[in-house]
Amino acid sequence: MFSSLSDDQLQRVISSPKNAVIEYRPLETIIAEDEVADCMFIILDGTCDVRIKAVGGREITIATLKTGEFFGEQALLPGATGRRNASVRALQPCRLFRITKDDVLLGTGQPLDDARIAPDVPPPSEDERVRMLLRTVNLFRSLSPRDLERVGDWTEVVRFDAGDIIVREAEQGDFMYVVIEGSVEVFVLDDDGKIVVLARLTRGHYFGEQALLPNSTGVRNANVRADGAVTLVRVAKRYFQLIVNHDNKLMLALKAVGDAQRKKIMSALGQEPH
């Protein structure tokens, strides 16, 4: 995530008095879903779990993060809501490096008011933009450096205009998507044909993966449309399945997320969950 920084810039991030090493006890909450975000974390020691609220108020674990992994950056990126989309807690004693929002934006190559990025640094290529994004998405945590280096071979950047339908309910799914820029709206239609909005997804969020999971019906369970101009990374079904087939914990987490999504859709439509 900070690979584009010079040694001086990186040292500035490390030595900034606003950034610090923080310790957490087992089961202590580090960030809470829906709270306003002002920092991200890198795990120096220990493990943490990522949890989201499911229908009925209970929480489900969707990922386990270990030393060297990071979290909390999604809500800080341009175009994001500014609020956490999941909770994270320590599973065992943890030492984390806390990085403030300004330094997160510096690391992602976003322009800052004090022009801390050297003007002679060329903008990242499209493949590099995709590579930088996928490094921040837990769905792709099992990818090897070689996989990321060849990202242009198995991803495609696609763009849509406001109102364009990207995914249609009940259609067969051939691709999943990750938002690079802009936002999309996930919705279903009720019995009267009225739109029921389920979620708004911004940079770093992904969608369309449920229909691609092994042993799924292969059918989309909702519609997704562009909420303004949007740029997406598209991953074909065969490549997505190669990723999840090598990460059983991820597979189970995605299935749990899918169950929660289906219950949310039924609840939104006033139907009783099966």
The pTM is what?
0.59
Q: What is the pLDDT of residue 116?
A: 39
Quote the distance between the C-alpha of residue 253 and its chain's center. 14
How far is it between the farthest Cα atoms of the chain? 60
Q: Which residues in the chain are classed under CATH 2.60.120.10?
A: 7-123, 151-268
pLDDT for residue 78: 67
| Token pair of 259 as six digits | 């169950």
CATH fit for domain 7-123, picks 2.60.260.20, 2.60.120.260, 3.30.460.10, 2.60.120.10: 2.60.120.10
pLDDT at site 272: 67
3-state secondary structure of 177: strand
Contacting residues for 38 by C-beta, under 8 A, at least 6 apart: 76, 100, 101
pLDDT of amino acid 185: 92
Q: Which residues in the chain show pLDDT less than 50?
A: 110-121
* Residue that the structure tokens 């051939």 belong to: 174
Per-residue pLDDT tens digits for 20-53: 999 999 999 999 988 999 999 999 999 999 887 7
Query: What pLDDT score does 225 carry?
Result: 94
Name the CATH superfamily, with its identifier, for domain 151-268.
Jelly Rolls (2.60.120.10)
Q: CA–CA separation, 71 vs 133, rounded Å?
A: 13
pLDDT of residue 118: 39
Cα gap 102→36, rounded to integer Å = 15
- How many CB atoms are located within 10 Å of the residue 78 CB? 11
